[in-house]
Structure 1
């Protein structure tokens, strides 16, 4: 297949429908719009600004910002200038920011909306050009708005060959320094062309971009296919306006991550208790009306494709959403595969609990040990300046993903955990934590879970209660979790059965380093935090951390 690069597609859309709106950006509760022609012109001006400030083709340029129209335009400007983008998570700490910029040898950084500027201000020095998007942000020496006035649009933009490097995307990583995944134009174009067709994206679609653009999923599922299909993009102004902004956008495709899907569910339960809702949904006509009201209340009543990715999602959550008419297609992918590679799409009830089938731009297989192996045009070729890691990651041309899975009779893949996540108990038997965590997640009182117990006679689960749970209702919570524990243990083999549940005092967040920027739990950090407590815990049903001496 002859793939088009993002800039070729941008120029084509701008020529075919210059006045059509591509971006809807909320600023102080006003919606500012940008047409295709305006987006192209702004990208050309910013590209000129990069050249005029001494950068040359091949230089790396970082983007440290929350999602905005300017993020997209900066990304395209970097391409137009023949340079390489280096996205950085807006939530990254100073040490991570400093490492990525130094390792990538970035010559400039675009700075945008940040919840806190402390880390950026600490990490950035005068050796790098700092360009501020038109929002309050970290200290900068140049302004986006000035560049748009000061520089003329680049007359001849760089039209990259497919084998050129487009971006270096640093993995969020749960341990050690992040690795720089080298993404080529072929990788990105193959994903965009494939997914645009797979999702049937058209100019009538509305997409809301709120998951971090520094993560490949947002670029490969929302930004890229939306660009190729000519869709309209909306953004979120802040956490406080999140729901209002979704309702305004009325998205037709919507992607989220398991923790946020859980949060949405808990928000529904705060207004209508789970058991009462369950009874009402069973009533003919009434159930349908309530389901539609919930979808509208979430701003998701116009969505035709729902997606979940970045981490495993509980089957119980998927079934619950199915009951209110929200059919979530669970997907799987990695930074190294340029995002989504496998998905339950078109959605099938029978494939709930699986990640579905591979996309057309990749092939997937299982090793003898059950590890997913993948190859294809979407799969990267190397880690930046890390030959050893690159060589260790490939076998006979297949990339070793580190994820373990089984293959169903229908040809769908089912993730059962990470190769290195399984731990050995004191009985010498291995336990895979993810399937157990998925079963525990059926209890809506639980929001976060980590099963651990290396060297212990039986595993233990540490859980964080959901925000809506009133911790003063200790007796009710105890009974609820005991019932779940007994139900789950009844499905497990002897060596997998949980000795107890420990209720953690504090939530796990990005800020306290127990979650990655993509909201995956950091197992190593959690094992350090709760390790001694887990080893000393006596066999019992439910134990409160506050009660452990």
Structure 2
């Protein structure tokens, strides 16, 4: 079934059930399945009225909101192909995606930096406002919803399962993003399996706040919600995130490692590290404290908590276990509709790995150690890039993931050892795989983000962004902790892998300064180019601040 098939199904079976909750000016707007169906019909008719045809590409450039889901459904209903764009994307990326995808129109909603993104939207493309204060558009959301004159002319759209549903552009950590072509069949297969393995049901509630332009939110949240008839909530802004989370009272909560780290900091700062450890170690009191912490995070009703999109420290996962939250870790890609490998449902035995190969998926490991993958959720290739498509598949149809892995022969646990493109040779001429080293260093609670570089350098260097709490502590105290961590980790490494220095950088990494992708993945090549000349000769197991080197 396609998303519109599910819309029509639920509009008939549970017409008055509220599917979407959208806060606006601190008032909650609700959307039932029946109401959504009517809006989708109106918008589809309007798209046709504009002269747009089946097969045309229509972009969605907006933060998560109820209107995002409605616009996506309307695009499918019209027989057109959706092209989501990250709301944090800069003008260059926006322009590239719109041009490369040949989008004929774009829905525009709330954006992170509308003025910066403005130059990316060409005046020649039809622009449709989603009803939020953002970029100027040619057509308004209210006008579209109320213009039902052409609805009677709409004919049912029944796509073939192998038809193209969406172009999902990867976040471009190593260059221009590539448009993954995802069919209705692949999307439905992945969502169906996600719904089964997570046992989603109509009573489940989720807060949709990670970008819907990312395949994780698109499948794990939007797609699974269609199949399970879950209820989705949205947040009005970062300012009200906690309030909206507590209002939603999610039964399923998906986040990213960075947010789990921030939640941990909030808890430790409010209680104190030593006091928290004492309370969690005290019989009878510990259960009360766990419930209080979960309630303070708005997660007291959750039956499933999960993490994905980036590696997470096993130390952090173990910490959350102490407060009563067993976080399921998952691994997937845009190219396989995110359903691939995971510790789902949670199993203590898989802690420290990314879990096991999920039902319906098939994997192999190449001679070079690269994970090769096949499932019903695989994409059809990269849009207008036959060469990249050809290079991405083996002769027998397995997708080359680019991840180096180790699979335990007994338990089936899959461990990520690094990325094929991330491995580098130092000046010593031996390969270093940075990700396993980063996981070990990340156990230092003073570190919020880190990245190891070292291609052509005297030794690998760990670039570090301090956590907010660490930034407020005396430098000597932080340096001592980092130094202890560095010595401890280096003892576990081969001589050519030993980290020559930890450097605390001056500037935080963000999508805006091009050091992170829109999904907060670190752009290693950008950091290497920025710091190679400055830190290329560092070695000797030292801890220092970038500002100290600049002063010299």
C-alpha displacement at 1:328, in angstroms?
Answer: 0.8
Q: Is the 8 A contact 1:132 1:142 kept in 2?
A: yes
Determine helix, strand or coil for the equivalent of 1:496.
coil
Q: Secondary structure at the match of 1:526?
A: helix
* Cα distance between partner residues in 1 of 2:248 and 2:540: 51
1:214-293 → structure 2 map (5 Å cutoff): 214-293=213-292
Match of 1:181 in 2: 180
Question: Quick check: 1:205–1:251 contact (8 Å CA) kept in 2?
Answer: yes
Aligned to 2:39: 42
Alignment of 1:414 onto 2:415: yes
Aligned partner of 1:96 among 93, 97, 120 = 93
Preserved contact between residue 459 and residue 538 of structure 2 (Cα < 8 Å): no
Measure how far apart 1:278 and its partner are: 2.0
SS of the residue 2:469 aligns to:
coil
Q: Does 1:54 align with 2:51?
A: yes
Q: Partner of 2:111 in structure 1? A: 114
Asked whether the equivalents of residues 92 and 119 of structure 1 are also in contact (C-alpha less than 8 Å), the reply is no
CA distance in structure 2 between the partners assigned to 1:471 and 1:25 by the alignment? 37
User: Shift of the alpha carbon at 1:463?
Assistant: 0.6
Partner in structure 2 of residue 459 of structure 1: 460
Task: Please give the per-residue CA displacement for 1:149-169, whole angstroms capped at 9, x wherever unaligned.
Answer: 012446533121101000001
Q: Is the 8 A contact 1:191 1:361 kept in 2?
A: no
Give RMSD over aligned pairs.
Answer: 1.3
SS at match of 1:501: strand
Distance in 2 (alpha carbons) for counterparts of 1:5 and 1:472? 53
1:361–1:378 Cα contact (<8 Å) kept: no
Residues 1:7 and 2:8 aligned together: no
- Looking at structure 1, the residues matched to 110 and 137 of structure 2 have their Cα atoms a distance apart, in angstroms, of 13
Aligned to 1:301: 300
1:302-321 aligned at under 5 Å gives the runs: 302-321=301-320
Distance 1:280 1:425 in 2: 46
Residue 182 of structure 1 aligns to a residue whose secondary structure is: strand
Deviates more, 1:303-312 or 1:111-120: 111-120
Shift of 1:119: 3.3
Aligned partner of 2:162 in structure 1 is 163
Q: Secondary structure at the match of 1:78?
A: helix
The 3-state SS of whatever aligns with 1:251 is coil
Deviation by residue 1:265-319 (Cα, 9 ceiling, x = unmatched): 1121221233332232111122221121111101011111111111111111111
**What TM-score results when the alignment is normalised by the length of structure 2?**
0.97
SS of residue in 1 equivalent to 2:197: helix
Shift of 1:533: 2.2
Instruction: State the Cα distance separating 1:538 from its structure 2 match.
Output: 4.6
> In the aligned structure 2, how far is the partner of 1:464 from the partner of 1:470?
9
The match for 1:17 is 14
Asked whether the equivalents of residues 457 and 537 of structure 2 are also in contact (C-alpha less than 8 Å), the reply is no
Q: 1:358-369 to 2 correspondence within 5 Å?
A: 358-369=357-368
Report the Cα distance in structure 2 between the residues aligned to 1:527 and 1:494, rounded to whole angstroms.
21
Kindly tell me the number of residue pairs found equivalent between the two proteins. Answer: 546
Instruction: Summarize the Cα distance change of 1:470–1:124 in structure 2 as closer, same or farther, 3 Å threshold.
Output: closer
The aligned runs of 1:173-212 (5 Å cut-off) are 173-212=172-211
Distance 1:109 1:80 in 2: 16
Unaligned 5+ segments in structure 1 are: none
Q: Distance in 2 between matches of 1:274 and 1:512?
A: 33
Partners of 1:526 and 1:261 in 2: CA distance: 24
- 1:160-192 deviations in Å (ceiling 9; x for gaps): 110100000111111221111000001100011
Distance in structure 1 (CA, Å) of the matches to 2:2 and 2:392: 27
SS class of match (2:305)? strand
Partner of 2:369: 370
Counterpart position of 1:444: 445
CA contact (8 A) 2:23 2:29 kept: yes
Map Cα deviations across residues 456-482 of structure 1 (whole Å, 9 max, x no partner).
332121111101224450111111111
- Structure 2 unaligned spans of 5+: none
Which sits farther off after the overlay, 442-451 or 145-154? 145-154
For the Cα contact (< 8 Å) 2:353–2:413, is it kept in 1? yes
Q: Is this contact kept in 2: 1:47–1:80, CA < 8 A?
A: yes
Query: Which secondary structure does the structure 2 equivalent of 1:494 belong to?
Result: coil
CA–CA separation in structure 2 for the residues paired with 1:455 and 1:321? 39
1:338: which partner in 2?
A: 337
Equivalence map 1:371-410=2 (5 Å): 371-396=370-395, 397-408=397-408, 409-410=410-411
Contact 1:187–1:379 (CA under 8 A) maintained in structure 2: yes
Structure 2 counterpart SS, 1:546 = helix
Cα pair distance change 1:540/1:404, threshold 3 Å: closer
